[in-house]
C-alpha cells in the first residue's frame, strides 16, 4: 500500500478508535458514578461527571493517536491530523450543546483533540523510535 492510502486509512481508523474508546469508557462512567445515567439522560452533568467525561475524551484521543501511529509508524503529525478531523466533527456537536455545558468544558474538550493528538503522537512516535 502506498503512503497516501495508508494515511487516509490511519485517520479513518483513528476516528473509529476514538468513538470505540469513548463508548467503552462511557460504560465505565455509568458504573462508577451513581447518578451518571440520570445526568446523561437529562444532559445535565455534575462537576464530577463533567471531569470524568473530559478525562474520557483525553483517553479516547490517546487511543485514536495510538491507532493512527500503529498504521503509519513514526509519523506524529498524523495523530495531530486525526485530532483536527475530530475537532471539525465535534465543533457542530458542541455548538448544539453550548448551553448545556460551561465554557471551560467546551474549550477544554475541543482543544484537547488536536493538542492531545499532537502530544500523544509525539510520545507514541518517540516510544516507537526507541523500540
The reported pLDDT for the residue numbered 1 is 63
45 burial via Cβ count (<10 Å: 0-12, 13-18, 19+): buried
Question: Are the C-beta atoms of 129 and 74 separated by less than 8 Å?
Answer: yes
pLDDT in tens, the chain (131 residues): 678 899 999 999 999 999 999 999 999 999 999 999 999 999 999 999 999 999 999 999 999 999 999 999 889 999 999 999 999 999 999 999 999 999 999 999 999 999 999 999 999 999 988 87
- For residue 61, how many other CB atoms are within 10 A of its CB? 30
The answer to whether 113 and 87 have CB atoms below 8 angstroms apart is: yes
**What confidence score (pLDDT) does residue 123 get?**
97
Which pLDDT score is estimated for 48? Answer: 97
Query: CB count, 10 Å around CB of 62?
Result: 21
Amino acid at each position: 500500500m502506498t503512503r497516501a492510502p495508508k494515511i487516509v486509512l490511519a485517520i479513518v481508523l483513528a476516528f473509529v478508535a476514538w468513538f470505540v474508546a469513548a463508548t467503552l469508557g462511557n460504560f465505565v462512567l455509568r458504573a462508577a458514578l451513581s447518578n451518571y445515567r440520570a445526568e446523561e439522560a437529562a444532559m445535565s452533568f455534575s462537576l464530577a461527571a463533567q471531569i470524568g467525561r473530559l478525562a474520557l475524551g483525553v483517553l479516547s484521543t490517546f487511543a485514536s493517536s495510538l491507532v493512527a501511529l500503529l498504521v503509519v509508524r513514526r509519523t506524529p503529525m498524523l495523530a495531530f491530523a486525526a485530532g483536527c478531523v475530530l475537532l471539525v466533527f465535534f465543533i457542530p456537536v458542541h455548538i448544539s450543546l453550548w448551553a448545556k455545558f460551561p465554557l471551560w468544558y467546551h474549550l477544554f474538550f475541543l482543544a484537547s483533540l488536536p493538542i492531545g493528538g499532537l502530544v500523544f503522537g509525539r510520545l507514541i512516535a518517540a516510544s516507537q523510535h526507541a523500540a
